[in-house]
Structure 1
Amino acid sequence: MNLVKITAGGFNFIARLEEKEAPQTCAAFKKLLPFKNKIIHVRWSGEAVWVPLGDFKLGVGYENPTSHPAKGEILLYPGDISETEIFIPYGGACFSSKIGQLAGNHFLTIIEGNENLGKLGQIVLWQGAQDILVEDYSAAEIH
């Protein structure tokens, strides 16, 4: 499996696991599938939503890190100087926290549904937290 289906805010997205560039992060995340949580709007990073995971540790370090992901390039921050989180940019973003700029592991790239990322961001911004479900694409019912 190298594809996942992401359902959030009434939208479906298909994302590719970046297994060559972030193998440990992808392997650790796949063990969490199906992954259910809430996304909220970022505070310091621009046009993005995030899943705060607090002190949760996936047991991975930095691989394929970036502070400037493009729209649809999903990051996992493994926790270090800030809390563990998943970061989903829907526009211009610089990955940051209250302590400053961070770098997260680029481990997923949305390959279908990018045109709805901005709409999802606006829903989260104006309507608040939304459910998110990430599941194995081969196990998901796709229509």
Structure 2
Amino acid sequence: MADIRITVGDLVFLAVLEHERAPETCRYFLSLLPYKTQFVHVRWSGEGCWVPLGEASVPFTFENATSYPAPGQMIFYPGGYSETEILLAYGAVCFASKLGQLAGNHFLTIVEGLEQLPALGKRALWHGAQDVLIESFA
């Protein structure tokens, strides 16, 4: 059952947190909600949107990390070799930065609205940063 709503303009996605696979990442992310930010099209990784967090320090390390999130999977990179960031795959992704391939914690999976992901990617690519609201409704 979905417990997270992601709203980007008229696009609404419902998602589940991956509590068993990434408990510390989920706990931290929940503490941020409701979270207002912007999705920016990724620079290096392929078909994804990201939220750059710069040098932000987070209270978790790697858990359930992947370089290849599937469409609808969100990963959280806790920093280290590159800046701290969140990435949502809308298509094929190989998570990377100018320093090379990275891995982020898969902590959230979209379960409703997957068919809208290409529209989100197209908007971010052709129209720039997209306002996002991520909230819990559990």
Q: TM-score range by the shorter chain?
A: over 0.9
Which residue number in structure 2 is paired with residue 104 of structure 1?
A: 104
**How many residues align structurally?**
138
Q: Distance in 1 between matches of 2:33 and 2:2?
A: 13
* Residues 78-132 of structure 1, C-alpha deviations (whole Å, 9 max, x = no match): 1111111110010011000010000000000000000000100000100000111
5 Å matches for 1:56-75?
A: 56-75=56-75
Q: TM-score, normalised by structure 1?
A: 0.93
* Matched residue SS, 1:24: helix
Write the distance in 2 (CA, Å) between the matches of 1:56 and 1:49. Answer: 18
What is the correspondence of 1:124-135 to structure 2 with a 5 Å cutoff?
A: 124-135=124-135
Question: Counterpart of 2:116?
Answer: 116
- Give the CA deviation at 1:57: 1.7
Counterpart residue number, 1:141: none
Contact persistence 1:15–1:109 (CA under 8 A): yes
Query: What is the RMSD computed on CA atoms of the aligned residues?
Result: 1.2
The list of structure 1 runs, each at least 4 consecutive aligned residues, that deviate by more than 6 angstroms after superposition, is none
Report if the CA contact (8 A) 1:76-1:107 is conserved.
Answer: yes
For structure 1, the residue ranges without an aligned partner over 5 or more in a row are 139-143
User: Which letter maps to 2:92?
Assistant: G
**Alpha carbons 2:19, 2:107 under 8 Å: kept:** yes
TM-score of the pair, normalised by structure 2: 0.97
Conservation of the 8 A alpha-carbon contact between 2:2 and 2:111: no
1:58 is displaced (CA, Å) by: 1.9
Do the aligned residues in 2 keep the contact of 1:29 with 1:58 (CA within 8 Å)? no
Q: Percent identity?
A: 54
